[in-house]
Amino acid sequence: MAYFLALDAGTTSNRALIFKEDGQVVTMAQKEFPQYFPQPGWVEQNPIDIYSTMSGVAAEALAKASLAAEDLECIGITNQRETTILWDKKTGLPVHNAIVWQCRRTAPLADALKEAGYVDMILGKTGLVVDAYFSATKIKYLLDKIPGLRDRAKKGEIAFGTVDSYLMYQLSEGRIHKTDVSNACRTMLFNIHSKTWDQELLDLLDIPREILPEVCPSAGYFGSTSPSFLGHELPITGVLGDQQAALFGQSCLEAGEAKATYGTGAFVLMNTGPDPIISKNGLLTSIAWDIQGQTSYALEGSIFVAGSAVQWLRDQMGFMAYAEESEKMALSVQDSNGAIVVPAFTGLGAPYWNPYCQGSIFGLTRGVNKNHLVRATLEAIAYLTHDVVQAMQEDSGLKRKLLKVDGGASNNNFLMQTQADLLQIPVLRPKCTETTALGAFLMAGLGSGYFKGLDEIQKIWQKDREFLPALAPEERQVGLDRWHKAVNHCLNFNL
């Protein structure tokens, strides 16, 4: 029997899972950590919280499984991407809170890059749309803001990392300053063709090369943890960004296979194989992973608000006590009674990319009640996902045959049925919905040499439920037309 530890550093919580070699979850421990919102649209986290909660849940998962660290084969790490941390190399202490991927504070810096005409150059090199979402403008902001930081960075005293890098640095007491290609490609500083940091982009943003981590393949030996973590040195042999990990955990290993993860936001990724496809429709091109010298690319549609819209219904509107109740409420009415919710709470991501538009509700009449609004919100998540999948088909020329789903909100059967109806293809939910952690464990198993190849890990994916399209095509088209009208109004509405 072999055991593996997967560390899943998410946006709102950190999770540690122990897996058996057949993909069974032995134990899981999870802990939320504080989020800070210093100004509207700004989001920060304390890196020390990120490390301390992760080290706490890892110890808890191990204790619950009655295992010792010596029983573990290796560690896999997966993480919220883009979130930017700068720290002092000597002390390991952060110089500022982490600037989280959702944070919009650097939108003016992104606008300046767009106005100066860098959109095509940046898309061509990095596969990314110019946006505050990615790490590059966040790093520049910190280097500009903190007195003396750029000089210290030039002298090699400061390190930059996304959450994977920061965790490895802490876990190894400063011996590992590395990241993997799937995380590096989300910084907007990494050339996805040459797979190297791009000097032209570094110069453009005045970011010293000295701060950057070494970029490694996703599977392989990154280094070992120090005994201060779990009491025993353990090899880290798999690292990748959480959406790419979910793609891997969903066993989307062939070109054309896709998954949608419905968590805080929703992220649709399609494996495009060994060649990157640069989008004409507002999607992102990322490296999915690099294994045994083989790079796989992915097209991605990032939707910033999905499950968090259900949290809004729960916490701000007070419509329910638990997110799970949204399914029953939506099914208690026949339709949304004409209401359309566009949950653009932090602007709209793919394929619209408007950081300034705001959430809107259309079609309100005296008969609309909270069940209709809950239904309209869940429908909006499915419509946004539809728009991304549509863009993906146009970019790739590949018609989807099915969509695999995961993440907290994929447990909502109404949402999944609506998704199948809108996409007109089967939607498949796996038995293990912790696909992100599953992907990290499988990657680590490959990196340690425990698994010899992809065919060995393909068997691990198992179906839980399949949702088949059941909506009449005319009815679907009417719904889509109304939705797109509402999105256009929302995009064009300026206070």
Ligand X SMILES: O=P(O)(O)OC[C@H](O)CO
Ligand Y SMILES: Nc1ncnc2c1ncn2[C@@H]1O[C@H](COP(=O)(O)OP(=O)(O)O)[C@@H](O)[C@H]1O
Query: Residue 479: which residues within 8 A CB-CB, separation 6 or more?
Result: 379, 383, 422
Of the candidates 323, 348, 373, 486, which one interacts with ligand Y according to CB under 6 A?
Answer: 323
Does residue 3 interact with ligand X by CB under 6 A?
no
Does residue 444 interact with ligand Y by CB under 6 A?
no
363 annotated binding-site participant:
no
Neighbouring C-alpha atoms within 13 Å toward the C-beta of 208: 18
| Residue-wise DSSP of 219-279 | EEEEEE--TTTTTS--EEEEEEEHHHHHHHHTT--STT-EEEEESSSEEEEEEEETS----
Smallest distance, ligand Y to C-beta of residue 464, A: 14
Q: Cβ-count burial of 378 within 10 angstroms (0-12 exposed, 13-18 middle, 19+ buried)?
A: buried
Phi-psi region of 218 (alpha: psi -120 to 50; beta: other; left: phi over 0): alpha
* Cβ atoms of 386 and 423 closer than 8 Å: yes
Does residue 138 interact with ligand X by CB under 6 A?
no
Smallest distance, ligand X to C-beta of residue 75, A: 19
Does residue 101 interact with ligand X by CB under 6 A?
yes
Q: Strand, coil or helix: what is 464?
A: strand
307 annotated binding-site participant:
yes
Binding to ligand Y, residues 384-413 (CB under 6 A): 407-409, 411-412
Does residue 282 interact with ligand Y by CB under 6 A?
no
Does residue 125 interact with ligand X by CB under 6 A?
no
Smallest distance, ligand X to C-beta of residue 211, A: 21
Query: Residue 430: which residues within 8 A CB-CB, separation 6 or more?
Result: 250, 404, 406, 461, 462, 463, 464
Select from 113-121, 154-162, 302-310, 444-452 the region that touches ligand Y (CB under 6 A). 302-310
Does residue 354 interact with ligand Y by CB under 6 A?
no
Does residue 311 interact with ligand Y by CB under 6 A?
yes
Does residue 264 interact with ligand Y by CB under 6 A?
yes
225 annotated binding-site participant:
no
Does residue 250 interact with ligand Y by CB under 6 A?
no
Q: Strand, coil or helix: what is 14?
A: strand
* Cβ atoms of 2 and 21 closer than 8 Å: yes
Binding to ligand Y, residues 100-159 (CB under 6 A): none
Smallest distance, ligand Y to C-beta of residue 13, A: 6
**Dist. CA 6–CA 15, nearest whole Å:** 8
**Toward ligand Y, which CB reaches closer, 37 or 493?**
37
**Dist. CA 364–CA 319, nearest whole Å:** 17
What angle is formed at CA 99 by the lines to CA 279 and CA 39, rounded to 5 degrees? Answer: 105
Binding to ligand X, residues 74-93 (CB under 6 A): 80-82
Smallest distance, ligand X to C-beta of residue 80, A: 4
Binding to ligand X, residues 260-319 (CB under 6 A): 263-265
Going by the annotation, the residues of the binding site for ADP are 11, 15, 264, 307, 408, 412
| Residues that bind ligand Y in the complex, under the rule CB under 6 A | 10-13, 263-264, 307-308, 310-311, 323-324, 326-327, 407-409, 411-412
